[in-house]
Amino acid sequence: MEMVNIMIDTRKIQVPKDYTVLQAARYANIDIPTLCFLKDINEIGACRMCVVEIKGARSLQAACVYPVSEGLEIFTQTPRVRESRKVTLELILSNHDKKCLTCVRSRNCELQKLAEELNIKDVRFEGETNIHPLDQLSPSIVRDPNKCVLCRRCVNMCKNVQKVAVIDTNDRGFKTIVGSAFEKSLADVPCINCGQCINVCPVGALREKDDTDRVWEALANPDLHVVVQTAPAVRVALGEEFGMPIGSRVTSNMIASLRRLGFKKVFDTNTAADLTIMEEVTELVGRIKNGGKLPVITSCSPGWIKFCEHNYPEFLDNLSSCKSPHEMFGAVLKSYYAEKAGIDPAKIFVVSVMPCTAKKFEAVRPELASTGYRDVDVVITTRELARMIREAGIDFTDLPERHFDDPMGEATGAAVIFGATGGVMEAALRYLVELLEGKPLEKLEFEAVRGIEGVKEATLDIAGMKVKAAVANGTGNARKLLDRIKNSDEQYHFVEIMACPGGCVNGGGQPIQPSQVRSWLDLRSERAKAIYEEDEDMPLRKSQDNPYVKKLYEEFFEHPGSHKAHELLHTHYAQRENYPEE
């Protein structure tokens, strides 16, 4: 790699010639403040917080977009630079809703942090401010334009990464606002509720719809039997909310916290993930043997499902009819569990703790109420659970060891890896190979479908048949894969798609990390690493070996794909409008 010699604040260093000044400063452990910058997503030099002085240049330059060159001399802390940053920050603050104490991002706000670091004591430019109504109609996402700093991170995430493009900048100058076409609510445009916009927002302009009050009310209601289930990705991210390293596995702490909050039972969504594999693989084999519609495309990600309904309705028949695992579990809890425990299903209140904001939308879909009651009553995110734990005064890092509750407290490693992109595919292959070949699988790891690449493919020889599989994470990559399938004569058998880049570990409800972390550390890989470690430590690693799932079929569903299983564990989808109408 070709290197260049530069000087930053009198320090001589060598850096790759394709670096920006910001990258070079980071290489030299010199901190330059940023606000709009997000590596590989938003590198537009718009906010002007990262300005530096370049020897020989008349004006200050944005470090995030200015390229290095041989002999370049850079100054990051001159009086001119410091004053420019302060003035810029004060101007941003002058048109910002400064209700910081009651903001969901208090203590985790990049604007707040900059104000502290730059020693802002007062705002000298108070004047006219824009006041906009909140958009609260979506069941998943709340948009507050009054806190928006026009960094455009959310715009570029939605438009360029997810390829959904339901938000952009409207109007010009002082009246510029980030919003949807025709000033529509996010509820009235083809938003897929993935929440990736929330994860990249530096302030509180985007947040999940908070449902914690509904959970507190249920917990306080003596007439309700309130149970909770947790997704695999939650246990490898929740610790971040309490200062623990990224990728910490906090399963026991999480269970103990939920018990302290007052839930009657704490269940593992992984049990239903094992159930999903049994149903989904049975569906796949049935289609292969009977000439059904191929490829079968996984249906665990509600953001992907809504994306498909809006943008690729021609693939709706390819979707597996399986409900997502937590919705399956909700149906099981209000049928099998209710019957075994002798509880009126009307009294069972199911709370799902998910890494995903799209599951809030999923929970209110009318077709997900197969017992006559809504499968899942409330979905809260990893962040919302953390807020409840803090509100209850629980010391998350000092709790006794706890395990998930019976009668459905055991799951396998195959279920755990649902949290990472490629995990559903790998879990399914662990069952598919044994089912078709009729013998135990020797090697459980399918490396070809692991990793954070946008699209991965694998061709496997199973029982003398070439099975072609593909995995896509992020709906931008889903577009690439689906267009490839449409325009190719090659036959795919099984496809996994997750709406969020990296899968559920990077879901829209996971702990928010600032640009200084997200830009230089791959959260997806760190959290996924913990997922795979948990899989390796599990005593059972194949869904078909889960004794609780076996018992469930023996006592209730009879066999995978049965009539009763289809009544309770499967669903359907329909085409949706793709563009808002004026």
Per-residue pLDDT tens over the stretch 501-524: 999 999 999 999 999 999 999 999
Tokens describing residue 60 = 């200050």
- The one catalytic residue in 154, 300, 308, 500 is 300
Alpha carbon distances (Å) from 331 to 30, 115, 129, 535? 54, 49, 49, 26
Q: Answer whether residue 75 shows pLDDT above 70.
A: yes
pLDDT confidence band for 1 (50 / 70 / 90):
confident
Q: Answer whether residue 112 shows pLDDT above 90.
A: yes
pLDDT confidence band for 422 (50 / 70 / 90):
very high
64 among known catalytic residues: no
Helix (H/G/I), strand (E/B), else coil: 37: coil
pLDDT of 140-154, one tens digit each? 999 999 999 999 999
- The one catalytic residue in 83, 117, 217, 367 is 367
**How far does Cα 388 stand from its chain's mean position?**
20
Confidence (pLDDT) at 580: 52
pLDDT confidence band for 406 (50 / 70 / 90):
confident
The average confidence (pLDDT) of the chain is: 96
Q: Answer whether residue 477 shows pLDDT above 60.
A: yes
Residue 158: strand pairing partners: none
- The one catalytic residue in 360, 504, 515, 519 is 504
The answer to whether the CB of 413 falls within 8 A of the CB of 535 is yes
How far is Cα 64 from Cα 43, in angstroms, rounded to an integer?
A: 6
53 among known catalytic residues: no
Domains of the chain: 3-77 (3.10.20.740), 93-208 (3.30.70.20), 213-569 (3.40.50.1780)
First-last CA distance in the chain? 52
The residue-averaged pLDDT of 155-184 equals 95
Q: Answer whether residue 455 shows pLDDT above 90.
A: yes
99 among known catalytic residues: no
The residue-averaged pLDDT of 365-393 equals 97
Q: Answer whether residue 49 shows pLDDT above 80.
A: yes
The answer to whether the CB of 328 falls within 8 A of the CB of 322 is yes
pLDDT confidence band for 579 (50 / 70 / 90):
low
- The one catalytic residue in 180, 320, 324, 335 is 320
Helix axes 382-391, 251-261, angle to 10 degrees: 60
- The one catalytic residue in 53, 362, 410, 426 is 362
How far is Cα 39 from Cα 207, in angstroms, rounded to an integer?
A: 21
Which residue has 């395990």 as its token pair?
A: 403
- The one catalytic residue in 110, 208, 240, 283 is 283
Q: Answer whether residue 27 shows pLDDT above 60.
A: yes
How far is Cα 330 from Cα 342, in angstroms, rounded to an integer?
A: 16
Which amino acid is located at 141 in the chain?
I
- The one catalytic residue in 110, 241, 280, 426 is 280
362 among known catalytic residues: yes
How far is Cα 320 from Cα 494, in angstroms, rounded to an integer?
A: 10
Q: Answer whether residue 581 shows pLDDT above 80.
A: no
Confidence (pLDDT) at 582: 44
Per-residue HEC secondary structure of 363-404 comes to: HCCCCCCCCCCCCCCEEEEHHHHHHHHHHCCCCCCCCCCCCC
384 among known catalytic residues: no
The residue-averaged pLDDT of 233-259 equals 97
Confidence (pLDDT) at 490: 79
Give the Cα-Cα-Cα angle 48, 50, 53 (nearest 5 degrees). Answer: 100
280 among known catalytic residues: yes
- The one catalytic residue in 147, 209, 265, 359 is 359
**How far does Cα 124 stand from its chain's mean position?**
39
Q: Answer whether residue 396 shows pLDDT above 70.
A: yes
Rg for the chain, CA atoms, rounded: 25
300 among known catalytic residues: yes
φ, ψ (nearest 5 deg) of residue 516: -60, -25
pLDDT of 185-242, one tens digit each? 999 999 999 999 999 999 999 999 999 999 999 999 999 999 999 999 999 999 999 9
Tokens describing residue 345 = 């299903």
The residue-averaged pLDDT of 269-294 equals 96
The residue-averaged pLDDT of 278-300 equals 96
543 among known catalytic residues: no
CB atoms within 10 A of CB 168: 15
